[in-house]
Amino acid sequence: MAVGIFDSGLGGLTVWAKVQERLPDVDFVYLADSAHAPYGVRKPDDIYELTCAAVQRLFDAGCDLVVLACNTASAAALRRMQETWVPRDKRVLGVFVPLIEAMTERQWGDNSPPREVAVNHVALFATPATVSSRAFQRELSFRAIGVDVEAQACGGVVDAIEEGDMILAEALVRSHVDALKRKMPEPDAAILGCTHYPLLQEAFQAALGPQVQVFSQAELVAESLADYLERRPEMIGKGEAAFLTTGDPARVSDRATQFLRRQITFTAA
């Protein structure tokens, strides 16, 4: 039984790489909806429909568990999917849970009242759709009080990464950090709220300063998923991975190989 990993593009490969490193015997099917990327500038209904179609493709490929390794899909579609669409014998997980667990130092099943946590001023860097959804603030408010979250929509960053233009991506990061600091001069922590952004973690850290704790979703999601899968031995396979794309397989394979600096070959979804 394979685990499905979905992203609108290549950002979810940062999650796949970390999980595969931790759980080398688990089989994975990765799906990039490259034909419709980026999701971060789309309307919620559009994101929901595209995400459902992609997850159904992974269900059809034999995946009973699918991870939305895409903050935009997690923010704009996951709750609605879980409430109205996901079959009872399937599971779809998002990327917010491990992040909030790490920030609040409490497990997801802990339903005690919200309490004060170690950080008070948090910078959230994400796509425009994730920012407008306010999903992170909503979930955080169930578990923590006294946390001021300032969100910065990082337009253009995902596009630059997908095009392989890391010089432009780093310049955009500096610009977005400067804009955030005008609203919140001294954040305690920063959230890289897109699975593409770990590739630019050093650029974010340099622009924010060494005193700011930067939370990397790829590592947190990988740790959480690894913990989940280690308690389910039926998920152990042969360590195989398949990569699907709705875009041009040759072009996406080339970008993915540059992205991870290892050979990744995509086929048509």
Return the biggest CA–CA distance within the chain: 51
Q: Any idea what the Cα angle at residue 160 is, between residues 195 and 12, rounded to 5°? A: 20
Phi/psi-derived region of residue 105, left when phi > 0, alpha when psi is between -120 and 50, beta in every other case: left
- Eight-state DSSP code of residue 47: H
Q: Are 200 and 190 in contact (CB under 8 A)?
A: no
Query: Does residue 95 contact residue 69 with C-beta atoms inside 8 Å?
Result: yes
Classify the C-alpha dihedral 15-3-49-74 as positive or negative: negative
Query: What is the chain's percent helix, strand, coil content, to nearest 5?
Result: 50, 20, 30
Angle at 45 between CA 32 and CA 155, to 5 degrees: 60
Q: Residue 233's Cα: distance from chain center in Å?
A: 25
Q: Is 60 exposed, middle or buried (0-12, 13-18, 19+ CB in 10 A)?
A: exposed
Active site residues: 70, 194
